Amino acid sequence: MLAPDNHLPTAELQAMDAAHHIHPFTDRAAMTKRGARVITRADGIYLWDSEGNKLLDGMAGLWCVGLGYGRRELIDVAARQMAQLPFYNTFFQTTHPPAALLSAKLAQLAPGALNHVFFAGSGSEANDTNLRMVRHYWASLGKPEKSVIIGRKNGYHGSTVAAASLGGMGPMHAQGGLPIPGIVHIDQPYWYGEGGDSSPEEFGLARARLLESEIERIGEDKIAAFIAEPVQGAGGVIIPPDSYWPEISRICKEREILLIVDEVITGFGRTGNWFGSDTFDITPDIMTIAKGMSSGYLPIGASLIADHVADVLQDKGGEFYHGYTYSGHPTTCAVALETLRIMQDERVVERVATETAPYLAQRWATLADHPLIGEARSCGMMAAIELSPEPKARAPFAAKTGTAGFICREICFANGLIMRSVGDTMIIAPPLVITKTEIDEMIVLAAKCLDQTHKALRKDGLLVPASEA
Ligand code: PXG
């Protein structure tokens, strides 16, 4: 049976949408002119649009559909839970089985002492929780002046006021007067774009030590926490040099500040371990999770809290005046639990680690030989290629950043591949269940799209490095 109104003509849906739907991260005028792409169904790692075009979903929805589309168990568990208890809140000393079971499951899967869960409806909400919670934590210890949070330029932590402030996206800050006070940002460990002549290891150390100098500058007694993604996702799959995280961990251990690790993208198998913190040997005090937790089938996010933080809040914090109507929503919790059951039963993370991620790494690396590519990098099931007019020099384009990336993205769509552009970096993060054969298909498509992009850029006179502008 078709979902509601799937039969309407594309133009009619586009017209309704253009008239009434304001989209996230979209230039509405540009979209209205061409008409939104209408996605109508999905199966496995593929999507279909309303014109019948098949697309390989190289972005797992939006980094979230780890198990791929059409998993009957997730659909059925949602229906069963909705019949039993579609909603009840978890405020005022109440719980229900899905929230209790999911909390225990997350505590079991999460690394170290992350044994406590505060549920939210999204990653952004969870990061709002984190901001209030770390400040409340220090205030409970009699140190309310420890309130500044250090984030990173080009980090992404969500779109709410607090989350967008914690993130370091300049264009986001420029709209709506962000960041809010009490949040500062240090430079990112982006060796390809900012490393210059230093080796990746030197650069990683230098960028980590910016945290130390920022703590010195502001004063340890004023700083509540540092927040970072293990691998920056929305920033362009920026994998820090090996020297980065050990140095950040050393600094956080030596200083009295909390480490918030945002695993909204890197959590639940994306990096080839259950968490990016496992991959990079990080010990978070608080971890943000969302996306892959429910394979994207229903919206859910959460903050995982380490014992020593939860103990202080329990012993000294009193009531935490914070919560969302849908914190611990029974249906989303049931779907998340089922997602985690499937991941464990089918050994999804192990398969990524031992089979498909090494295969992707090897196949993806071949793209580095393309005359348009300055670097190809991957970590687990996330990967990036850097477009460049002079790859050996890692040169940026003379044209406005994002021009080449946009052209490449459109060519990918036209060829049935969803590969996202971040500036002139092309990124993928396919469903974790992608097979080797499907990886081959994705690489062949990507290479074909790079050839076409190369031709298009040459034809438009865009193969010019910034130094020659
Ligand atoms: N933290 C991280 C690390 C994220 O990647 C969020 C928090 C916010 O989660 P919610 O559920 O509130 O969206 C994210 C979200 C992109 C893109 O274009 C990435 C995200 C969201 C939308 C677009 O890469 N990540």
pLDDT in tens, 364-389: 999 999 999 999 999 999 999 999 99
CA of 304 to the centre of ligand 1 (A): 17
Residues lining ligand 1, Cβ inside 6 A: 62, 122-124, 127, 156-158, 229, 233-234, 262, 264-265, 288, 290, 301
Confidence tier at 2 by pLDDT (50, 70, 90): low
pLDDT attached to residue 7 = 77
Distance 65 CA to ligand 1 centre (A): 13
Nearest atom of ligand 1 to the alpha carbon of 299? 11
Q: Residue 207 and residue 415: Cα distance in Å, rounded? A: 39
Q: Where is 447: in which H helix or E strand? A: helix 436-459
Tell the residue nearest (CA) to atom 15 of ligand 1. Answer: 158
pLDDT of 81-108, one tens digit each?
Answer: 999 999 999 999 999 999 999 999 999 9
Smallest CA-to-CA distance from 394 within 207, 194, 187 is with: 194
From the CA of 442, how far away is ligand 1's center (Å)?
Answer: 23
> What is the rounded distance in angstroms from the CA atom of residue 15 to the CA atom of residue 392?
46
Binning pLDDT at 50, 70 and 90, where does residue 344 land?
very high
- Summarize the confidence of residues 308-336 as an average pLDDT: 98
Task: Report the pLDDT averaged over residues 216-241.
Answer: 98
Q: Averaged over 208-236, what is the pLDDT?
A: 98
- Check residue 469 and give its pLDDT: 81
Give pLDDT, residue 1: 54
**Fold of the domain spanning 73-345:** Aspartate Aminotransferase; domain 2 (3.40.640)
DSSP calls for 288-348: EE-GGGGTTSS--EEEEEEHHHHHHHHHH--------TTTT-HHHHHHHHHHHHHHHHTTH
On whether the CB atoms of residues 130 and 322 are closer than 8 A, the answer is no
**pLDDT tens, residue by residue, 62-81:** 999 999 999 999 999 999 99
* pLDDT surpassing 80 at residue 5: no
Determine the Cα–Cα distance for residues 67 and 123; give it in Å rounded to an integer. 19
- The set of residues, in sequence order, having a beta carbon less than 8 Å from that of 417 and lying 6+ positions away, is 55, 56, 58, 442, 445, 446, 449
**Predicted local distance difference test score (pLDDT) of residue 449:** 98
Q: Is pTM, for the whole model, over 0.75?
A: yes
What DSSP string describes 48-82? Answer: EETT--EEEETTHHHHT-TT-B--HHHHHHHHHHH
Of the pLDDT bands very low, low, confident and very high (cuts 50, 70, 90), residue 4 is low
Closest CA to 373 of 390, 356, 359, 358: 390
Residue whose CA is closest, atom 9 of ligand 1? 123
Ligand 1 atom 16: residue of nearest CA: 234
Q: Residue 355: pLDDT above 70?
A: yes
Could you tell me the distance, in angstroms and rounded to a whole number, from the CA of residue 233 to the centre of ligand 1? 8
Query: 168 C-alpha vs ligand 1 centroid, how far in Å?
Result: 13
Residue 404 amino acid letter? A
Angle between helices 200-218 and 244-254 (to 10 degrees): 20
**CATH topology assigned to domain 37-70+347-468:** Aspartate Aminotransferase, domain 1 (3.90.1150)
158 Cα to the center of ligand 1, angstroms: 5
- 73-345 and 37-70+347-468 share a CATH fold: no
Tell me the three state secondary structure of residue 140. Answer: helix
Domain ranges for the chain, please list them.
37-70+347-468, 73-345
Distance separating alpha carbons of residues 457 and 372, to the nearest angstrom:
10
What is the spatial distance between Cα 126 and Cα 119, in angstroms, rounded to a whole number?
7
**Whole-number pLDDT of residue 457:** 98
Question: Is the confidence at residue 398, as pLDDT, over 90?
Answer: yes
Confidence of residue 336 (pLDDT cuts 50, 70, 90): very high
